[in-house]
Structure 1
Amino acid sequence: MAMNFDPFRDLDRIAGALMDSRGPRLMPMDLYREGDVYILSADLPGIDPGSVDIDVDGQLLTIRAERTLANHEGVKWLTRERQAGSFLRQLNLGQGIDIEKIAASYDNGVLSVSIPVTEKAKPRKIEVTSSAEANTVTVKEGEHQITK
């Protein structure tokens, strides 16, 4: 079997092994607002949906997930790039979020979390009045009458 020598791949593998502290890994995510809901999409391929844990403590949203790989006895690995371990992401939600209505789903390796905005935080139209509208002047046959 012919193998290509790539020194950068080997250096990357060695550096990764040296710097890997087996701590939580970061999950790539997108976050956007659609109307009155924030949508968070996080890539978690190969994760068992039962291992995903989402909680809110005050204004801190925490997403945890665990990837476990099958342990194959008696095999000789040619390459093993998929990593097992914990994934963690924390976001400060700030004010104006309805934490009671946060919902999540997991489909095709993507975790989607919908984070709704509270009624108080939704944009609303403010009517502007002027003092000219508040005090109107009506004229009755030569008299001036002020109506408030």
Structure 2
Amino acid sequence: MERVTRQVPLPPGVHFEVLDCPVDGFVHKGRTIVISARLARMSPAQRFFIIAHELGHLKLQHHAAILSFVSRAVSSSPDESGARALIASGLAAISHQAELDADAFAVRAMLDAGLDADEAARIFDGMGEGSDNGTHPSPGRRARAIRSAALN
């Protein structure tokens, strides 16, 4: 974590927690970056990527953008049903873009730190092509986007 925060300073009031959890990392309430204990089994470059990715969500203000989208959907809809439909139709695309943007942020940080960004792509290669879900692009799509970001 120290190497990442030298490259990407930790925002004020944000802290890390390491937990035994099934996902590699996530941001909780915009103030806590939760990192899975299983990251210890990853290469140093892959750990760097996961931590920088979560910092990217904070630096790029993804939580605020999603809250703003939901707020606009609710206030512009005539009823709850309309708000739910609007949110359902747009939230996945916003979330997918946020994930890809956080990946690109982490790749830039890796390159600035002199790390091999292909290590990050290999995380997703190991998951197979997969398919998009409601919150994340498919592993194959993410691996390709990471490799593309590393070239730019």
Shorter-chain TM-score above 0.5: no
Please say which structure displays the higher CA radius of gyration.
1
Relative to its length, the structure with more strand (as a share) is 1
Relative to its length, the structure with more helix (as a share) is 2
Compute the TM-score of the two structures, normalised by the length of structure 1.
Answer: 0.22
